[in-house]
């Protein structure tokens, strides 16, 4: 049906089409503003919009302070080093794990039993129900420790410490026995990928130590973080608590942050269409009152008033500026209605 035929409608059909156009215009305006408001709220939550760099291998200009998404395999420039054991690995994070063969207390109801087993923390035997005969050596002579790479790069950017620590997964790393310092080489032997102090590795004794290492694997990851010079850093004071995100593999922006990936489009065309639909609806409804002539001030004023009010509602409590802007549109509509009313009174007096 052409626009001219729609405007020429009369009777119940005109009322039905007019109400439908008015309602659709109101719903379109409110939905457009709500989707835009939700998108802006998501930007605030995560620290801003994200520029998708994909697998870019070089830093780009104009991104200072922007959030970016970048995928690839991190490159370790300065490998972590365990100086105590002279161990080094091409990994973002190298972790040393120390366990001691100790007495452990097991409780099952009122029954208390004891067993010797490996534990990664000192077991305080003074707190045992039966400490006699189950005394443990005490603190570990060597502590577990984490060693970070001095420089890890992704796409030409250096990863901040928080991002390095967030790199996922872990895999065992076999120690290089030949690299051990002489004093430790005399005390430790290799057993199942770990160093042990046991004289008989298959039959450990109380107080024996076991030292092993694990590393974050070099694998493809996807990082969302803020550009700070030649670094990728976490957004400070981000509402979501982290200010960055790290995923294994080539994750799309939609996978990682669906709330900001689907950016609302055609905002202004949708706003204009909402106003036009509301004005069309007002025209059809007003024609039922005066079939000869419709004052454009009345139709436009009514359309602007209802669209302005309903478009302002989604912004209340989130954006005062946006709410006031739409209320300003509503006031323009109200002014047109008052103008029409004053003009009608003058005309009636004449």
Nearest to 98 by CA among 53, 143, 155: 143
Does residue 146 carry a pLDDT above 80? yes
Mean pLDDT of 316-330: 90
> Which has the higher per-residue pLDDT, 332 or 236?
332
Query: How confident is the model over 34-69, as pLDDT tens digits?
Result: 888 877 776 666 656 778 888 877 777 888 888 888
| Gap between the Cα atoms of 16 and 36, Å rounded | 30
Average pLDDT, the chain: 87
Does residue 4 carry a pLDDT above 60? no
Does residue 264 carry a pLDDT above 90? no
Top-ranked range on mean pLDDT: pick from 181-190, 239-248, 316-325: 181-190
| Gap between the Cα atoms of 333 and 25, Å rounded | 15
> Which has the higher per-residue pLDDT, 42 or 73?
73
> Which has the higher per-residue pLDDT, 344 or 213?
213
Scan for tokens 């057993």, then name that residue.
191
Q: What share of the chain is helix, strand, coil (3-state, %, to 5)?
A: 40, 25, 35
Question: What single DSSP character describes residue 178?
Answer: G
Task: Answer yes or no: pTM beyond 0.95.
Answer: no
Mean pLDDT of 79-85: 97
Nearest to 187 by CA among 177, 179, 197: 197
Alpha helix locations (H) across the chain?
Answer: 3-7, 11-46, 161-166, 182-185, 253-256, 258-261, 267-287, 296-312, 320-349
Neighbours of 67 (CB within 10 A): 24
pLDDT band with cut points at 50, 70 and 90 for residue 170: very high
pLDDT at 2: 46
Tally the C-alpha atoms within 13 A of residue 23's C-alpha that lie toward its C-beta.
Answer: 6
The answer to whether the CB of 196 falls within 8 A of the CB of 204 is yes
| Gap between the Cα atoms of 44 and 57, Å rounded | 28
Task: Give, in order, the Cα–Cα distances in Å from 296 to each of 5, 29, 206, 336.
Answer: 18, 21, 95, 9
Does residue 191 carry a pLDDT above 50? yes
Does residue 258 carry a pLDDT above 90? no
The answer to whether the CB of 152 falls within 8 A of the CB of 104 is no
Does residue 289 carry a pLDDT above 70? no
* Cα 33 to the center of its chain, rounded Å: 23
* Residues in contact with 264: Cβ distance below 8 Å, sequence separation at least 6, in sequence order: 32, 35, 36, 39
| Gap between the Cα atoms of 97 and 215, Å rounded | 11
Nearest to 283 by CA among 258, 300, 306, 264: 300
pLDDT at 310: 94
pLDDT band with cut points at 50, 70 and 90 for residue 3: very low
pLDDT band with cut points at 50, 70 and 90 for residue 283: confident
The C-alpha angle 127, 133, 134, rounded to 5 degrees, equals 45
Enumerate the domain spans of the chain: 3-42+263-349, 74-219
Using a pLDDT cut of 70, give the percent of the chain over it.
Answer: 88
pLDDT at 347: 60
Tokens of 327: 């209320």
The answer to whether the CB of 215 falls within 8 A of the CB of 100 is no
Task: Give, in order, the Cα–Cα distances in Å from 50 to each of 170, 226, 251, 260.
Answer: 28, 9, 14, 8
The answer to whether the CB of 116 falls within 8 A of the CB of 206 is yes
Top-ranked range on mean pLDDT: pick from 10-14, 16-20, 208-212, 289-293: 208-212
Element spanning 127, H or E: none
| Gap between the Cα atoms of 281 and 285, Å rounded | 6
Beta strand pairing call for 75-78 and 157-159? unpaired
Least confident range from 13-17, 47-51, 290-294, 298-302: namely 290-294
Question: What single DSSP character describes residue 156?
Answer: T
């Amino acid at each position: 049906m052409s626009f001219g035929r729609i405007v020429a409608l009369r009777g119940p059909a005109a009322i039905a089409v007019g109400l439908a156009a008015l309602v659709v215009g109101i719903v379109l305006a409110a939905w457009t503003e709500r989707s835009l408001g939700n998108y802006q709220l998501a930007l605030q939550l995560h620290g801003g919009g994200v520029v998708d760099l994909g697998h870019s291998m070089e830093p780009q200009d104009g991104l200072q302070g922007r959030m970016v998404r970048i995928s690839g395999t991190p490159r370790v420039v300065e490998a972590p080093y365990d100086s105590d054991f002279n161990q080094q690995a091409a990994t973002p994070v190298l972790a040393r794990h120390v366990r001691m063969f100790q007495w452990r207390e097991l409780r099952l109801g009122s029954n208390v039993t004891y067993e010797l087993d490996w534990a990664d923390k000192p077991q305080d035997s003074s707190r045992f129900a039966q400490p006699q005969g189950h005394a443990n050596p005490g603190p570990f002579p060597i502590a577990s420790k984490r060693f970070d790479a001095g420089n890890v790069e992704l796409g030409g950017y250096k990863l901040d410490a928080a991002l390095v620590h967030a790199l996922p997964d872990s895999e065992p790393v076999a120690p290089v026995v030949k690299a051990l310092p002489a004093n430790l080489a005399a005390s430790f032997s290799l057993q199942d990928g770990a160093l042990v102090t046991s004289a008989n590795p298959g039959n450990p004794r109380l107080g024996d130590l076991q030292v092993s290492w694990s590393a974050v694997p070099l694998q493809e990851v996807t990082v969302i973080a803020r550009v700070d010079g030649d670094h990728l850093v976490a957004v400070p004071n981000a509402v979501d608590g982290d200010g960055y995100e790290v995923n294994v593999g080539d994750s799309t922006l939609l996978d990682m942050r669906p709330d900001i990936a689907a950016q609302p489009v055609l905002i202004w065309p949708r706003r204009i269409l909402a106003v036009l639909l509301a004005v069309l609806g007002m025209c059809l409804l007003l024609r039922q009152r005066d079939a000869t002539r419709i004052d454009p001030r009345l139709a436009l004023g009514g359309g602007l008033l209802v669209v302005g009010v309903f478009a302002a509602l989604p912004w209340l409590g989130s954006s005062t500026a946006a709410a006031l802007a739409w209320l300003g549109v509503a006031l323009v509509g109200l002014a047109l209605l008052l103008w029409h009313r004053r003009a009608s009174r003058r005309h009636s007096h004449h």
